[in-house]
Structure 1
C-alpha cells in the first residue's frame, strides 16, 4: 500500500471527524493517533525511532492508505518527500478556538504525564516529543499556543505544493473535501466526532 491522503493538521482541529470522512469516501483505512493507542507496543517504538530520524514508514503505515492527526502531522516535511504523489489536508480552525480546545485536553494530558499509568508513559513521552517537533513545547500560555499553532499551519502551507494541499475546516462539510479528492458527495451528513468528553473517553479506554 502507498499513502494517498495525509493530514497535516494538528490534534483538536477535527482530525477524528476527517478520519471518519476519509474512510467513508474509500481512502481508508485511515491512520489516527487512536491506532497508536490501540497498538502501543508496536507503534510507540516505531514513532520514537522516527523522531531520531530512523523512520520505517512502511512498518508504521502497514495496512493503511491514509493518515491524519498526530503523530503524522508532526512529520509533514518528511512525508512529502516519502510520498510525493500524496494529497495533503490541513485541518484548520481559529487559533483562539484551537487553543481553548487543546489546552484542557491534549496539553493537560501531557502536563500530567508523570502521574499517568505506567503502561502509558512511553506513549505520552513520544507524543510530547512529536508535539514539541510541531513547535508546541510544554509550558506555553494561551497567546503562545495560538502563535505556535499558526506557525505550524504556515509551515505546512509553505512546504506542501498548493495543488496538493487542501486547507479545510471540517465545518465546511463534504463539498471541498470531495472536490479535492475527486469523488462524489455522500448523501449522509459529514461526520462529527471527538468532542472534549469523547477525547478523555478514548484516552482512558472507555470507548
Structure 2
C-alpha cells in the first residue's frame, strides 16, 4: 500500500488535526506518532531500523495511506523519494508559537524524561532530537531559526505542484483543492491542544508499564480525539 499524502510538518503544527482531516477526506488511515505508541511493540523496532539506516517503509506504513507528525516528518525527503506519486503537505505556524508549544509539551523534560534509556526514548532521540545538529532545544533563537530554515528547505526541494504549505486556519478549501476532493460540510477539526496533550501525559503517568496498557491508552487517546474532531 503506497502512501498518497506525506505530512512534512513538524510536531505541534496541528498534525493530529491533520490526521483526522485527511482520514475524513478519504486518505486514511493516517499515520501519526500516536500510532507508534498505540502499536509500540511492532512500530518502535521498525523506527529503530529507520534510524539505523535500514528503513522498511512499506512495513512501517503497512495499512496506512498518509502520514503526519513525528517521526515520519523527519524523513519527508526520503519518503518523497520512495513514494514518488505522493503529495506532500507542509503544515506551518508562527515559529515562536511553535517553540513555545513544543517546549511546554512534547520536548519538555516532564514528557521526555521518563523515556530516557528505553526503546521509545532511543527512537525519539534518533528520529527527532539528533536532527537538531547539536543545538540547544531550549534556545528560542536557535530553534525558531532552525524551524524556519527547515521548512524553507522543504519548500525549495519540491516542485510547487507536489507541495501544499498549509495553516489549519485556512480550512478545507486549499487542502481539498490540492488533493482533488470535494469540500465536506463538516467544520474543519481542531484537536490535541496544549492542554489536552498535557492532560494526556498526566493521565499516562498513572498507567502500569506493561505494553498492553500503554498501547491501549494510545488507542483510546486516538479514539477520544476522533470523537472530538467529528463526533460519533
TM over 0.5: yes
CA contact (8 A) 1:136 1:149 kept: no
CA contact (8 A) 1:36 1:43 kept: yes
Indicate the residue corresponding to 1:189 in structure 2.
Answer: 187
TM-score normalised by the chain length of structure 1: 0.91
Indicate the residue corresponding to 1:9 in structure 2.
Answer: 9
Indicate the residue corresponding to 1:131 in structure 2.
Answer: 128
Aligned pair count? 204
In structure 2, C-alpha distance between the alignment counterparts of 1:117 and 1:142, rounded to whole Å: 24
Structure number with greater Rg is: 2
Indicate the residue corresponding to 1:146 in structure 2.
Answer: 144
Question: 1:59-78 maps to which residues of 2 (within 5 A)?
Answer: 59-78=59-78
Indicate the residue corresponding to 1:20 in structure 2.
Answer: 20
SS at match of 1:106: coil
Deviations 1:117-137 (A, max 9, x none): 68x932122112211354375
Deviation at 1:147, TM superposition (A): 0.9
CA contact (8 A) 1:135 1:152 kept: no
Give the aligned CA root-mean-square deviation in angstroms: 2.0
Deviations 1:67-104 (A, max 9, x none): 11011100011111100110000000010111111111
SS at match of 1:107: coil
SS at match of 2:185: coil
Deviations 1:169-199 (A, max 9, x none): 0111100000000111111100100011221
Question: 1:153-172 maps to which residues of 2 (within 5 A)?
Answer: 153-172=151-170
In structure 2, C-alpha distance between the alignment counterparts of 1:158 and 1:181, rounded to whole Å: 20
Question: 1:74-153 maps to which residues of 2 (within 5 A)?
Answer: 74-109=74-109, 113-114=112-113, 116=114, 121-135=118-132, 139-140=136-137, 141-153=139-151
Do the aligned partners of residues 112 and 92 (structure 1) sit closer, same or farther apart at CA in structure 2, a change above 3 Å counting?
closer
Do the aligned partners of residues 153 and 44 (structure 1) sit closer, same or farther apart at CA in structure 2, a change above 3 Å counting?
same
Deviation at 1:148, TM superposition (A): 1.2
